[in-house]
Structure 1
Amino acid sequence: MTLQATELHLYAIAVELGAPVPLSELTADPELVAHADALTEGGMAYARVSDGSVTGLAAAAARAALASGGHPPVGSVVYTTDSLYETTATKDLWRLLTDAGLPRTPGAVVGGSASANLAPALRTAHGLLATEGLETVLLVTADRITDGTRYQPVGVTVLSDGAAACLIGSVPHGPGYRLLASATVVEADAAEVSNSIKAAALVKSGVTRARAELDRRLADPERPFRHLVTGNYSRATRTFLSRLCGTAPADPYTPDVAEVGHSFSADLLRGLADLMEQKLVEPGDRVLVLATSPRSWSMLAVEYVDG
């Protein structure tokens, strides 16, 4: 079988978040309390907390994306999470498909990149478009903290409960983004380090290599990006990441750090959606998306299209 080059267009982004809770009220989390000053200094004020299930968050975002996109025929669903499964990966997927109103639709669970799970999810969706000739793939990412602390030292941030979903197609169906190129670098055997200098060196190596690989795959790597979207990390972390991204804007677009905290891969889809909602992108504008985890770094180059 000969595969044809297939474009990937991302549209109809929808977000579902837990309720906003001030950091000062999360007194049952001693580690977060101990680092409250650092979080505040980094720009955090709230965490999003959900009493529901992670698949419930995922299904709510999925239904909203489907409604926003006009309920197109969905050929497959790609679900990604870094949270503990409620039962098993398979049964959680079945619940998501059922609650999203797609009980007869094939689906797949992907992951392995923590807060950077958007990258493998997009690769999977792209593969489905190319190999099966599907019109539409529904991508859903969701995470919920059920045990342990909400404080995350990597990035100095607070973990929130939330989900995001979008529709993926080979042609545009309304305002959204066209994927131009992507690149992923993995250091699965990297040693755990507590030394901040060594940790920064690992991140620098990963992000720099990912950017070089992205440039190699882009048809016009010298063309500037109008925006950089990263996860909702501390102000210092975001500044550090932006400096590693080369020609990207110096100030990453993370409009809801204070009110939302860090909700894993949903941060990135929220950032892309907000750029459209605030009319901060015009057709042809390029956006650089940096998806990071402790041992993997992915870069996505996308271009805004107005349908």
Structure 2
Amino acid sequence: MNADPRPAVYLSGIAVELGERVPIAELDDPSVAAELTNLHAGGLLHCRVAEQDVVELAAAGARKTLAAAGLTAVDAVVHATDSPYRETATRDGWAVLAGAGVPTAPTVVVGGSASANLAAALRVATGLLAAEQLETVLLVSADRITRGARYQPVGVTVLSDGAAACLIGARPHGPGYRVLGVSTSIQADAVEVSSSIKAANLVRLGVAEARERLLQNLPERERGFTYLVTGNYSLATRTFLARLCGIESAAVHTPTVAEVGHSFSADLLLGLASLQEQGLVEPGDRVLVLATSPRSWSLIALEHTAG
């Protein structure tokens, strides 16, 4: 089979900034208390609660990524969030740049996919690389719960505060992953249903559409994937998602479920970093990332590289 003709794009330099670990049984949150038994049964024991606002979380995560890579400048920044702005999207974007120490980098603020914002941000970052022939884009995703319940019935999980950052570039900055493909399916007009069967069917259709589109454009699609990384949802949800992706449940890698809870897109970058840190992937191994929200489903195909 011919090699992939597309320019190589790499994801590397993953870093995280999380809130303080709090046992979910100690949260002053009636929604969590009412579902505590189910949450514990699904593997959820703690969540993260931050004092910093979402801009401060994003800037802290970004600084860690830049420091780890030894960079003081990047060509652009993509800031993803599903949280209320401190002021406006523009002013928050500027504050992230200033806090990260890259005040002159052009920035784009991305949203619209909730916990799946990593995929949206990655699509924007890779687009910037191609359209403007850039070398390195800093991607940072940050979220903080400022009002409302932390219990999330979709996925049976508890929402956490935190940020994660990485570099998207024409070359890797240390060990990381080559981006092989991204695909998204969305059903913006979907209505919430009380029937678990109908809800599961919506997810099934969304993941199937995204998966088929991804595989159509994936080089050497017959190679398959060594691991699947999902959000930090309940065990039953993760098992269900693995089945939809055609992957054995034992290959689902979500090592921070019990300690972190569901910190939006940070879950996914934490999972990818953990695969490297634990030595579970070798160069050439492929990893599938499933980024989901109540109305959108994205798949990201990656190949591990030593850098």
Q: Shorter-normalised TM-score: what interval?
A: over 0.9
The answer to which of 230-239 and 102-111 deviates more is: 102-111
SS at match of 2:222: coil
Deviation at 1:222, TM superposition (A): 1.3
**1:98 is aligned with what amino acid?**
A
TM-score, length-normalised on structure 1?
0.96
TM-score, length-normalised on structure 2?
0.96
Question: Is the contact between residue 72 and residue 101 of structure 2 (CA under 8 Å) also seen in structure 1?
Answer: no
1:61-82 CA-partner distances (Å, limit 9, x unpaired): 0000000111153010000001
Deviation at 1:111, TM superposition (A): 1.3
1:257-297 CA-partner distances (Å, limit 9, x unpaired): 00000000111011000100111110000000000011110
SS at match of 2:221: coil
Q: 1:181-220 maps to which residues of 2 (within 5 A)?
A: 181-220=181-220
Distance 2:93 2:78 in 1: 9
Distance 1:305 1:163 in 2: 24
Who is 2:17 aligned against?
16
Identity %: 63
Who is 1:7 aligned against?
8
The answer to which of 268-277 and 190-199 deviates more is: 190-199
Runs of 4+ in 1 over 2 A off after TM superposition: 4-7, 247-251
Distance 1:261 1:173 in 2: 28
**1:38 is aligned with what amino acid?**
N
Deviation at 1:23, TM superposition (A): 1.0
Question: Is the contact between residue 22 and residue 47 of structure 1 (CA under 8 Å) also seen in structure 2?
Answer: yes
SS at match of 1:117: helix
Distance 1:174 1:254 in 2: 23
Distance 2:6 2:221 in 1: 20
Question: Is the contact between residue 187 and residue 296 of structure 1 (CA under 8 Å) also seen in structure 2?
Answer: yes
Q: Which runs of 5+ in 1 are unaligned?
A: none
Who is 2:63 aligned against?
63
Question: Is the contact between residue 139 and residue 167 of structure 1 (CA under 8 Å) also seen in structure 2?
Answer: yes
Question: Is the contact between residue 119 and residue 298 of structure 1 (CA under 8 Å) also seen in structure 2?
Answer: yes
Determine whether 1:168 maps to 2:171: no
Who is 1:84 aligned against?
84
**1:136 is aligned with what amino acid?**
T
Distance 2:82 2:230 in 1: 18
Who is 1:125 aligned against?
125
Equivalent pairs counted in the alignment come to 303
Distance 2:260 2:127 in 1: 32
1:87-132 CA-partner distances (Å, limit 9, x unpaired): 1111111111001001111101011111000111001100111111
Distance 2:174 2:183 in 1: 26
Who is 1:282 aligned against?
282
**1:174 is aligned with what amino acid?**
G
Distance 1:249 1:226 in 2: 11
Deviation at 1:248, TM superposition (A): 5.7
Deviation at 1:249, TM superposition (A): 5.6
Deviation at 1:183, TM superposition (A): 0.8
SS at match of 1:192: coil
Who is 2:26 aligned against?
25
Q: Which runs of 5+ in 2 are unaligned?
A: none
Q: 1:33-44 maps to which residues of 2 (within 5 A)?
A: 33-44=33-44
SS at match of 2:284: coil
Question: Is the contact between residue 287 and residue 301 of structure 2 (CA under 8 Å) also seen in structure 1?
Answer: yes
What RMSD in Å do the two structures reach over aligned CA positions?
A: 1.2
Distance 1:194 1:68 in 2: 46
Distance 1:188 1:59 in 2: 30
Deviation at 1:250, TM superposition (A): 4.2
Distance 1:203 1:240 in 2: 10
Distance 2:23 2:251 in 1: 25
Deviation at 1:8, TM superposition (A): 1.3
Determine whether 1:264 maps to 2:264: yes
Who is 1:111 aligned against?
111
